[in-house]
Structure 1
Amino acid sequence: MNSVIKEKRLQRTLGRFSSVRRLHGLVSTLHQIASNDQDHLDPKGQASSVFGSLDVEKMAHQIRTDGLALGLRLPESLRQGMAQFGTTAPVKPWGAKEPLPLEAVMGGKLPTGEPVAVAESAGIDGCPEAAKVIRDPKMLLLAKRVLGYNPRNIEVSLRWSFPTHLSLTEHCNVDLASRWHYDVIGKNSMSLFFYILKGDSDLDGAHATILKSHRKKKISMLFRPSTTISEAELISYYGPGQVVIATGEPGDGFAEDPNTFHRAMQPISSPRLVLLVRYT
């Protein structure tokens, strides 16, 4: 008799424990649903976006389909703020240990005489205009639609490209981004580009992309020591009609899947300043 009573008491205790566990699980689930950083929630404040007329769904579809979507435009006040920052802040050439005054490298050479093709503005965290763009609600929503989740990381840089007065082959040895390549970042990523300052030529420092190449690659393109590839091989496989060069006036921008084959055009006559944002 005593063993029967003990067993019933044990069952009641386990039942209460199970109910508590179910209640705890329900509370935990409700907490996750209510959490602001859950992926099922879209970024708030869409009405406050500086890209007010942008159709996010249409642009996201185009990025997923073609790997590239043109048509972004910065408010002039933000572009001017970034132009001011980019022309006054020190810059750090790729591979350099310390920042230098912009004037020291504007001619495409380091003070030592070595060629320099690319340099990034130092202290970009101190540029409020750049911060406003990368955290804009519609840009965050666009990233979510492309990635499939709210972005975990955001990288940003103001990037100068300079004429080096080298041959294309020599320039590509200094600036690897001027070779045709795709970026190996992870499963999902999206890049934003905004032209902040441009020089005399539309092609100086412009960006070239091969449409749909983010989804269509030969096996031999994937299994090689480098992601760089010759233009002749790309044109032979994709055709010349798939190449898009985004020239752009100051303030113009576009979004891209960096798994596309793309390259930075070599500046010939004048430098260009670009805002580059990457969501992963």
Structure 2
Amino acid sequence: MLDAEHSTPQDLEWVARNGGLASRIAARIPTYLADLKENPAWLAMFVLARTMPARKAHWLTARPAPPESGAESSMFGDLPAETIAAKIRRDGIFTGLRLPTEIHEEIGRFARETPCFGNFERRLEFLADEHGEAEARFGRSILSGHHFERVLSCEAALAVQRDPLLKAVAQHYLGGQAQQVTLRTWWSFPAAGASEADLNRLSFKYHFDLDDWRMLKFFFYINDVGVDAGPHVYIRESHRRRRLKHQLTPVVGHPADEVLAYYGRDAVMTLTGPAGTGFVEDPFGFHMGTLPRSRPRLMMEVAYGVSKPSRRRYHGEPVIR
């Protein structure tokens, strides 16, 4: 049973504070230019999709979800896709998913036996069980380990990606044009002397995702995640209302005290649970991955969007064609 506690990780608030606005924008300019060159329509999304009037207008273009055939069975049982989508429309998140034991165990085995890449850098390659040795070998803190395209060799991960419930929920929520755009697995490791620069490169601050006009992300814990293993945090209902200041800034990450002052601490959901725990959220809502304290977290994500996928691999994950 997923434990969605109302809590605020006070010890992580310092992580939610990042560098100056100018430096944060400058660091992203090469990526922005690459996206603009590949798809000129990206600029309109990047500028307007953070504003509530433009988002509401774009939602009007959603096509009805096609009727469900019922020909394929889901590993998640008989959960009603339309009901899940309605829950996400209200709260921004649904927390009732659970992977079968054999599926999450196989993904866990893959993740332990397959080298990952630390801090999004392919030169930092190591096995998760050798994380401490890798930090010593590379002479730096390593907070994350992504498998990038190697996840495509994990049949259990592909089975989750293909599950009909995910597509049905996405189409009921995003519209009939919903399509899969990403699949990824990654480790989050406890920090040992990590610099603030390292922390700011990751997701340990309240932020919202702005990769498309409309998105939906399915997350699954592949190992047990308690309060000491970096649980995901989501701000309920923040996907459908937004402080004006947060609509008119070019950055997506904001200090914890600023976010909580507007949405209230009662809106904070800290998501813990045993291996196999899953949830689906609208990533336009404020969220963050907290910092593991004593043990690593292994997570899987399947994302849906409504626009043509970029050839650029954001976070290194494969783009689904």
Structure 1 gaps, min length 5 = 1-37
Counterpart in the other structure of 1:173: 200
Query: Is 1:160 paired with 2:187?
Result: yes
Counterpart in the other structure of 1:141: 168
What does residue range 1-12 of structure 1 map to in structure 2 within 5 Å?
Answer: none
Counterpart in the other structure of 1:75: 100
Give 3-state SS (helix, strand or coil) of 1:266's partner: coil
User: By how many angstroms is 1:43 displaced?
Assistant: 5.5
The alignment covers a number of residue pairs equal to 241
1:184-239 CA distance string (max 9 Å, x none) = 0111110011000136x434121000011111111111111311111111111111
Rg larger for: 1
- How far, CA to CA, are the matches of 2:135 and 2:209 in structure 1? 27
Give 3-state SS (helix, strand or coil) of 1:221's partner: helix
Give 3-state SS (helix, strand or coil) of 1:193's partner: strand
CA-based RMSD: 2.2
Query: Is 1:264 paired with 2:289?
Result: yes
Counterpart in the other structure of 2:79: 54
Q: Is the 8 A contact 2:187 2:299 kept in 1?
A: yes
Structure 2 gaps, min length 5 = 1-62, 306-321
Cα separation, partners in 2 of 1:259 and 1:110, compared to 1, 3 Å:
farther
- How far, CA to CA, are the matches of 2:75 and 2:234 in structure 1? 26
Which structure exhibits the higher relative contact order, with contacts defined as CA atoms closer than 8 Å and separated by 6 or more residues? 2
Residue 200 of structure 2 aligns with an amino acid whose one-letter code is N
2:110 corresponds, among 85, 89, 93, to: 85
Q: Is the 8 A contact 1:163 1:269 kept in 2?
A: yes
Q: Is the 8 A contact 2:124 2:138 kept in 1?
A: no
2:223 corresponds, among 192, 197, 222, to: 197
Query: Is 1:100 paired with 2:125?
Result: yes
Query: Is 1:128 paired with 2:155?
Result: yes
Q: Is the 8 A contact 1:117 1:174 kept in 2?
A: no
TM-score, normalising length from structure 1? 0.79
What's the % identity of the aligned pairs?
Answer: 29
Give 3-state SS (helix, strand or coil) of 1:48's partner: coil
Residue 253 of structure 1 aligns with an amino acid whose one-letter code is G
Structure 1 stretch displaced more, 71-80 or 118-127: 118-127
Query: Is 1:188 paired with 2:210?
Result: no
TM-score, normalising length from structure 2? 0.70
User: By how many angstroms is 1:152 displaced?
Assistant: 2.6
Counterpart in the other structure of 2:178: 151
Query: Is 1:207 paired with 2:232?
Result: yes
- How far, CA to CA, are the matches of 1:273 and 1:95 in structure 2? 15
2:298 corresponds, among 263, 266, 273, to: 273
Cα separation, partners in 2 of 1:134 and 1:100, compared to 1, 3 Å:
same
Give 3-state SS (helix, strand or coil) of 1:275's partner: strand
- How far, CA to CA, are the matches of 2:231 and 2:136 in structure 1? 23
